[in-house]
Structure 1
Amino acid sequence: MTASLHNKRPSAIRVVLPFVFRHWLHQPLAAATVAGGLLGATVADLFMPVFSGHLVDAMTSGAADPAARRAALVAFGAIVALGLLSMILRLIGLQAIVPFTLRIMSDVARDAFMRVQRFSTDWHANSFAGSTVRKITRGMWALDLLNDTILMALLPSLVVLLGSMILLGLHWTSLGLVIAVGALAYVSMTVLFSTRYIAPAARISNAWDTRVGGTLADALTCNAVVKSFGAEAREDARLARVISRWRTRVRRTWLRYNYTSTAQLSVLLCLRASVIGGALLLWVAGRASPGEVTYVLTSYYIIHAYLRDVGMHINNLQRSVNDMDELVAIHDVAIGVADATGAVPIIVHGGRIVFEDVTFHYGGHIAPLYDGLSVDIRAGERVGLVGRSGSGKTTFVKLVQRLYDVSGGRILIDGQDIALATQHSLRSQIAIVQQDPILFHRSLAENIAYGRPGASMAAIEQAARLANAHDFILRLPKGYGTLVGERGVKLSGGERQRVALARAFLADAPVLILDEATSSLDSESEALIQQAMERLMKGRTSIVIAHRLSTVRSLDRILVFDRGQIVEQGVHAALANRPGGIYRGLFERQATEFDRISAAG
């Protein structure tokens, strides 16, 4: 199946090379300097055999002949001068290619990261972070090989082949034709093998290389779960299966390189026999002097070296193209939610949120989740969202953040259509505390200040105090400088929640979203977080997603969702006393479960 999917995609070389050349055009002067220096050095090397032949002819005339001595000295001087010129030009080209390639590598990696950051929530949910990192880093380094292959190898090789054919053809047409036919056959065969024989296998092996990265990242980021179930051996076996498939695919690719190399050497052997045999025939027929034979042989050995390397360079080109294929494909993925043309920053004062006849489909779903949903949340109102799983609560807050675009209708904040606002300005006005807060593997101070990077240490500490986090932070070995581990793994659930609340306090946004911030916590942590949440909600438009109904009892209004519709709304007391109501049913069920747990305890 993997092979069939890859075969349906366009040829990698037709996609990757235009992508790279577009980046070259961003640095036209640097590209011209690199190409000019390296090609100029190659042209200087091309004339070396000519003067080597003159030198041999002069030496065969005898040292006693003054004209022969002068000719020998001129040929010697020309050889030295051409060598010096080649060295200088090559140095210019090599010096220029370093910043040229590094800038492209930097631009490509930065652009890919920028796009990935802006891909849809669904894209990230369906992609391994480790695989994405592997695609970007592998493609970035492949670009270094690709630039070197084209500019430092293939272009000079082309100049040598064409120049040698022309120079030899001017003296002996037959030898020029032999070189032309042999070089054409060799290059054509190499390109055909590379694109039709090696490339398909390389694409599949790269896909499995990406899968190895994804499997490693998946197990390592979930190591706590692996340990809790004693599943290390099971994960070892899972990786072993993936690596076994990877090894099979890579072995096939490498063997195809070996078979191609043998075929290339066979063609070169035939070409060598033809050229050297032709030079001997010319000498026997008296049509070539010893110096001219030397010129032919020297030219051929240069051609042979370049042709032999051309095969390797074309294989390297195809390999680098294949390695870049998945990186370039990232640039073809549509950004899920893009700023509208002419989008302007949103200005939020009160934070009134209005859904006007909103319709929303998840991608691939035929039936809409919301069909004409309308709701008005007043500025500063504290609203709870309640309902069974899948009823539309989380989607509601994701649409407020514009993580998805609505299919119909519109969403307004303080009378401004969020679809016409820049996403950065919109999300900077919304603070969110998630059910499972995600922290960066950075210091606690950096995590708290993520919404306000320029905040002072005093402001960070004040936010931590408001979130009931200051005391536990001071007990840590490095206080606010403590690194929290990947995704905050070094902290407990309650500690992570309080850091997330501190982050929301410091962001000081007019709209607040709390996604069941007290679930799965011990009673002490829950009490501290409830206190912090009450402080945080004051004066802000607050939306609280609740599974535990105790968290919404004191809110101004509760919206009860069922299958994408708001079927009930009101305060806790009214909803809890409504006969046959969904909220009452949920409340009574939780109360019964609580009583049963208390009795068991």
Structure 2
Amino acid sequence: MSVQTSTRRPEPFRAVLAFTFGHWARQPLTVSAIVAAITLMTTANLFVPVFAGQLVDAIARAGPDATEVATGALASIVAVGVLAVAFRHLGFLAITRLTLTTMERVAQDAFARLQRFSTDWHANNFAGSTVRKITRGMWALDLLTDTILIALLPSLVVLFGTTILLAWRWPAMGLVVLAGAVLYVGVTLFLSLRFVAPAARLANAWDTRLGGALADAISCNPVVKAFGAERREDDRLAVVLMKWRKRTRRTWVRGTMSGSTQDVVLLALQASVVGFVIWLWTQGRATPGDVTFVLTSYTVVHGYLRDVGQHVHNLQRSVNDMEELVAMHALPYGVEDSAGAGGMRVGAGRIVFDDVTFHYAGHDEPLYRDFSVTIAAGEKVGLVGRSGSGKTTFIKLIQRLYDVTGGRVTIDGIDIASVTQSSLRANIAIVQQEPVLFHRSLAENIAYGRPGASMAEIAHAAGLANAHDFIARLPRGYATLVGERGVKLSGGERQRVALARAFLADAPILILDEATSSLDSESEALIQQAIERLMQGRTTIVIAHRLSTVRAMDRILVFDRGRVVEEGSHTALLARPDGAYKALFDRQVSEFGKSMVA
């Protein structure tokens, strides 16, 4: 199983926060409203201990104005409580707006980037793992936003507000609370970011692998069933699950150890504050109301500090969960539109490879070196050769799925690197050997070649592709869902739907990747008829694995190790007794004869 393991990247904490704040910056008024509302809510709560102390002193004095003072204190407690509720309500409404909008944009941006990543990137990454990174990152962003704005911001307000109120009356008390709180927060940050985070990062890497392994086996379930390999896949997953469990257990155990250490620090702070206020009372420097004020204030601080441990844990966890998503946003596309790239509209469809040099990443030797080929407008060209000879790469360079290392590829004299990729590919219709269909209706799959096409146009294209009759026989006709990757259809039916899509696209350049291989004779005949109609008036390139499919081509290019070693018509190439094409053709005829005898 080939996967990319998540490695530790420099400053993931800073990168994730910069990514999050960057999205917040797109909603400055909403963020400002949240900060203001949460700060006012917390400040209102800070005065509850002050009024509670006044209430206790009034009751303890029992003087003539005690009832009035006590009633005023109670009214003040109720008033600040009402204000706190009102500000909390407004803050939570605003944070709901902020979070949902941000999550939506993050998902949209991630999807947009994924669609534009290079062919190599998609070939080297599991679809299931990628989906897991995005969804996990989205929900981690929700947790991160709540942690910073709803949890940590009030904690800071309470800490500094209470310290100021206590220090106003007893400077030493304020110093004790501040020093203890700073020590607690420092220990919490150190344990979370230096002790728990590395383990969590590795656990996330295996969580991603787990998602990829599940998706890989489930998407290939027909192969699993074909070989009776259910138990084998169970065992394969068990190995991944065992490693995931070990990494996750280590993370959770470290989290527990971190929490216990934090509790010890809090216990020491509690003993210091309570002991100090009792000493003040014994010295006559604090009234019962003062003691109530200190104990109530500390209870508030203690609650927030105890939760700070969980908040920092949540912060660390959300950073770990977002790290892969953020790293994905920093990746280059691989193949990018040039600055100022314009649209392209192909007219005649003349294709030229002009001294092209190209090599795949990680390969020392180029596949093509000073490679030049011209395909005339409207010409029908077949590409043949052994596997790995450069046929498929030739097609991919025309689509600009890769950028050439040297030279250029032009269509109608325009360098394809100077136009947008979307406009280039809109002028090319490709029918692959294994057509890929969306798990959508037949009508939607066919209309993918021309968004907004009418049902009449869709049905006409299906008719040209010899697909209308089998579609009409289905209970739901064109509304039939085809299943994931078109699994509900036969190979011949999928191929005809792909041809209908190409007919509807009506592109001036057509690429066929052996569209009739691995089909029964009836399906092959229907598809061959459709292909002959589809090729009319178009520049056509056919990758041929069976040489019988290129007999009618205007010209055949024989590839070998990135070079065109022969070219000409089928008849002309067969006339060369020692030619590469004739050798390939004779071998296929011989293998066909042996299979017929068998």
Common fold by TM > 0.5: yes
d(CA) in 1 for partners of 2:119, 2:519: 27
- 1:293-308 residue pairs with structure 2 within 5 A? 293-308=291-306
1:451 aligns to what SS in structure 2?
Answer: coil
1:73 CA drift (Å): 2.4
Contact 1:7 1:200 in 2 (8 A): no
Q: Which residue of 2 aligns with 1:53?
A: 53
1:47 aligns to what SS in structure 2?
Answer: helix
For 2:293, the aligned partner's letter is Y
d(CA) in 1 for partners of 2:87, 2:239: 51
Q: Which is further off, 587-596 or 115-124? A: 587-596
1:103 alignment partner, one of 101, 111, 116: 101
Render the CA deviation track for 1:549-577: whole Å, top value 9, x for unaligned.
Answer: 11100011101111101111110000011
Q: Which residue of 2 aligns with 1:410?
A: 408
d(CA) in 2 for partners of 1:55, 1:329: 55
Contact 1:386 1:547 in 2 (8 A): yes
Contact 1:138 1:323 in 2 (8 A): yes
- 1:171-190 residue pairs with structure 2 within 5 A? 171-190=169-188
d(CA) in 2 for partners of 1:205, 1:347: 49
Render the CA deviation track for 1:191-242: whole Å, top value 9, x for unaligned.
Answer: 0000000000000111111111000000011000000000000001111111
Contact 2:167 2:173 in 1 (8 A): yes
1:7 CA drift (Å): 6.1
Render the CA deviation track for 1:229-266: whole Å, top value 9, x for unaligned.
Answer: 00000001111111111111111111111111111111
1:479 CA drift (Å): 1.2
Q: Which residue of 2 aligns with 1:508?
A: 506
Q: Which residue of 1 aligns with 2:268?
A: 270
Identical amino acids, percent of aligned pairs: 65
d(CA) in 1 for partners of 2:493, 2:444: 15
1:91 alignment partner, one of 89, 92, 97: 89
1:46 aligns to what SS in structure 2?
Answer: helix
Q: Which residue of 1 aligns with 2:395?
A: 397
- 1:380-391 residue pairs with structure 2 within 5 A? 380-391=378-389
Render the CA deviation track for 1:78-127: whole Å, top value 9, x for unaligned.
Answer: 11111111111111100110011000001111111111111110110010
d(CA) in 2 for partners of 1:573, 1:480: 43
Show structure 2 runs of 5+ residues with no match. Answer: none
Contact 1:432 1:504 in 2 (8 A): yes
For 2:157, the aligned partner's letter is V
d(CA) in 2 for partners of 1:337, 1:108: 22
d(CA) in 1 for partners of 2:485, 2:6: 34
Q: Which residue of 1 aligns with 2:29?
A: 29
Q: Which residue of 1 aligns with 2:561?
A: 563
Q: Which residue of 2 aligns with 1:124?
A: 122
Change (3 A) 1:447 1:6: closer
For 2:11, the aligned partner's letter is S
Q: TM-score, length-normalised on structure 2? A: 0.98
Render the CA deviation track for 1:349-404: whole Å, top value 9, x for unaligned.
Answer: 11111111111111111111111111111111100001111010000010000000
User: What's the Cα RMSD here?
Assistant: 1.2
Q: Which residue of 2 aligns with 1:241?
A: 239
Render the CA deviation track for 1:465-490: whole Å, top value 9, x for unaligned.
Answer: 11111111112221111111111111
2:519 aligns to what SS in structure 1?
Answer: coil
Q: TM-score, length-normalised on structure 1? A: 0.98
Runs of 4+ in structure 1 over 6 Å off: none
d(CA) in 2 for partners of 1:273, 1:280: 11
Change (3 A) 1:8 1:316: closer
d(CA) in 2 for partners of 1:272, 1:6: 42
For 1:503, the aligned partner's letter is R
For 2:251, the aligned partner's letter is T
d(CA) in 2 for partners of 1:247, 1:73: 58
Render the CA deviation track for 1:33-80: whole Å, top value 9, x for unaligned.
Answer: 111111110000011111111111111111x512x3332222222111
d(CA) in 2 for partners of 1:181, 1:493: 72
Q: Which residue of 1 aligns with 2:10?
A: 10
Q: Which residue of 1 aligns with 2:39?
A: 39
1:5 CA drift (Å): 7.3
Contact 2:6 2:324 in 1 (8 A): no
Q: Which residue of 2 aligns with 1:358?
A: 356
1:431 aligns to what SS in structure 2?
Answer: strand
Contact 1:515 1:546 in 2 (8 A): yes
1:286 alignment partner, one of 270, 284, 287: 284
Q: Which is further off, 467-476 or 427-436? A: 467-476
Q: Which is further off, 430-439 or 48-57? A: 48-57
Q: Which is further off, 72-81 or 451-460? A: 72-81
1:11 CA drift (Å): 3.3
Residues 1:349 and 2:336 aligned together: no
Q: Which residue of 2 aligns with 1:259?
A: 257
1:536 aligns to what SS in structure 2?
Answer: helix
How many residue pairs get matched? 596
1:389 aligns to what SS in structure 2?
Answer: coil
For 1:595, the aligned partner's letter is G
d(CA) in 2 for partners of 1:92, 1:486: 44
Q: Which residue of 2 aligns with 1:204?
A: 202
Render the CA deviation track for 1:272-317: whole Å, top value 9, x for unaligned.
Answer: 1110110000000000011011000000000000000001100011
d(CA) in 1 for partners of 2:245, 2:8: 24
Q: Which residue of 2 aligns with 1:225?
A: 223
2:448 aligns to what SS in structure 1?
Answer: helix
- 1:427-438 residue pairs with structure 2 within 5 A? 427-438=425-436
d(CA) in 2 for partners of 1:384, 1:257: 63
d(CA) in 2 for partners of 1:35, 1:143: 17
Q: Which residue of 2 aligns with 1:496?
A: 494
2:371 aligns to what SS in structure 1?
Answer: strand
1:6 CA drift (Å): 5.7
1:170 alignment partner, one of 168, 171, 188: 168
For 1:71, the aligned partner's letter is V
d(CA) in 2 for partners of 1:379, 1:563: 26
Contact 2:6 2:205 in 1 (8 A): no
d(CA) in 2 for partners of 1:548, 1:356: 29
- 1:425-464 residue pairs with structure 2 within 5 A? 425-464=423-462
2:440 aligns to what SS in structure 1?
Answer: coil
d(CA) in 1 for partners of 2:311, 2:593: 75
Render the CA deviation track for 1:306-362: whole Å, top value 9, x for unaligned.
Answer: 000001100011011111111111101110111100100012111111111111111
1:150 aligns to what SS in structure 2?
Answer: helix
d(CA) in 2 for partners of 1:299, 1:561: 82
Q: Which residue of 1 aligns with 2:213?
A: 215
Q: Which residue of 2 aligns with 1:576?
A: 574
For 1:145, the aligned partner's letter is L
Residues 1:65 and 2:64 aligned together: yes
